[in-house]
Amino acid sequence: MKQPFKFKINLFILGGLFIFNYPTLYAQEKNMTNHSYSPFYRPDVYRYCDSLQIDFSQEYLRLINPIRNTDKEITEMVKGYTVKADTLFSSICRIYDDSYQLTYTRITPQNGVLGKNYQHIQMYISPRINQEYPLHFTVRGKSKVNHNICNFNGYIEITHIFSSTENYPYNYMIGKYEFKEDSSQKGSGIFKGICSFDVKVDTINKIINLDEDFAIADGYNNRNYVGIWESYSRGTIKKCIWGDY
């Protein structure tokens, strides 16, 4: 992140929500009853969330909503801007220079955790994204848990866009998502929750793009999805959190 406050908030949030810097390690552990293995018991996190709680999305929403008067909502101002949805939401990482020339491309599924045992989940979102109306996007992709892969279709809807000038200027989006897996496939269900994205807002060219300035830095977490997965067949609900880690 670009400035101390934001880095501190992201570090705190993601540690508390079972992801930050630990998805692969914890996904490989099958029995995590020992507090020393649980990121929930990192300092101070337990004060805000119950470790037995399944859905952390509203807590996450409260934490990322502006708490400083230096954050200005710009949602209405940018509704007519071009949103580079393929870079903002998809798993195809495209990095551009200041003149919008493509400099780097790679496929990067996002990593996360599923359920109380921290199963490793990978999420792939196709670059074939449609904008249905301003700030509402339909997406498709695949989820993978162990060797089980499911196709999904759904949407991402941006509800708020903020600009912050504290210490270092940056912009971020807050939204909600719902991804429905193919019910004919084994182990399928529905993902839903709260999402957030760090973005660049080009007011001259009227373009919104993913902010990739710190893409290779430790602690990079510019896209976060915090919510639940619900099984179609059993109705089981599990915590499910993923992002760029």
What is the distance between the alpha carbons of residues 75 and 159, in angstroms, rounded to a whole number?
Answer: 8
Q: Quick one: tokens of 231? A: 């099984």
Q: Please state, as a whole number, how many other Cβ atoms lie within 10 Å of the Cβ of residue 239.
A: 22
Residues 162-184 have pLDDT tens digits of 998 777 788 999 999 999 999 99
Q: Which residue has the tokens 């003149």?
A: 99
Q: How many domains does the chain have?
A: 1
What is the distance between the alpha carbons of residues 90 and 87, in angstroms, rounded to a whole number?
Answer: 6
Which amino acid type is present at position 18?
F
Provide the whole-model pTM.
0.77
Q: Residue 115: which of 168, 58, 64, 53 has the closest Cα?
A: 53
For residue 97, pLDDT over 80 is answered with no
Domain span holding position 72: 4-243
What pLDDT score does 239 carry? 92
